[in-house]
Structure 1
Amino acid sequence: MPGYAIAQLYDVDLNAEIVEYLERIDSTLAPFGGKFIVHGGAQQVIEGPASAVAIVIEFPDYQAVQDWHQSAAYQAILPLRTENCSSIAVLAQDCGKDHVATDVLKEAAS
């Protein structure tokens, strides 16, 4: 099942460091099979900070997204982003094609 890196970025200072981050991130994704699913384009914030931008990066599996996040290449550029915006970032596993909302209740009970 795919794994995902999901972020909400807000108060982004679009400066030279953010530009460098954007120029370098694709090369950190490639070895782990990562690809942007949501990044830029039309977005409508309906809750939360008005300036938030959603980003979703898909990986072949949850282990790959964890390995990417911990990789030396990504860790080297991460401060370029975190020091120039506020964010919430999550690594998540795909829930599967047959998932229904109440499946989380079963997981909580176990």
Structure 2
Amino acid sequence: MTAYAIGHIRPETMNEDILRYIEEIQSTMDPFEGSFLVHGRQVEVMEGTWPGTVVLIGFPDIERARGWYASEAYQALIPLRADHIAGDIILVDGVPTDYDASKTAANLREAAGL
């Protein structure tokens, strides 16, 4: 099942460390079959607030997403970003291709006794 690394990034002023991070990140993802689905695009806020941009990276599964994040190569790059850009990074499993939200609602309804 596809898994995702999601970054909510609030960039500061561009500098050499950030540029190096951007230049080198793909090579850290390649061994784990990671690919950018969204990278640094501005969001269109429909509800609430969302300062900054979003990054979405897809991986074949959560194990490879975790492996990428924990890898020596990526860990070495993190300070280049984290020292200059505020943000939140999460890993999350996707849903199967046959996912049906109404079944989830029925299970939640039953569990809650509603």
TM-score normalized with structure 2 length: 0.82
Look up the match of 1:55: 55
Q: Given residue 100 of structure 1, which amino acid in structure 2 is its aligned partner?
A: A
Q: Structure 1: which 4+ aligned runs deviate by more than 4 Å?
A: none
Aligned to 2:104: 103
Q: Deviations over 1:49-87 (max 9, x none)?
A: 43x101100001110000000000000001111111110
Are the aligned partners of 2:3 and 2:91 in contact in 1 as well (CA < 8 Å)? yes
Coordinate RMSD, CA, aligned: 2.1
Q: Give the match for residue 10 of structure 1.
A: 10
Change beyond 3 A, Cα 1:101–1:27: farther
The 3 A distance-change label for structure 1 pair 4 and 45 is: same
Q: SS of the residue aligned with 1:56?
A: strand
Structure 1 length as normaliser, TM-score?
0.85
* Identical pairs, percent: 32
Match of 2:73 in 1: 73
1:37 partner letter: L
Q: In the alignment, which residue of structure 2 is the partner of 1:35?
A: 35
Find the aligned partners of 1:104 and 1:90 in 2 and give their Cα distance. Answer: 24
Distance of 2:58 and 2:41 partners within structure 1: 17
Tell me which amino acid in the other structure corresponds to 1:5: A
The residue identity in structure 2 corresponding to 1:44 is E
Q: Which runs of 5+ in 1 are unaligned?
A: none
After alignment, is 40-49 or 14-23 more displaced? 40-49
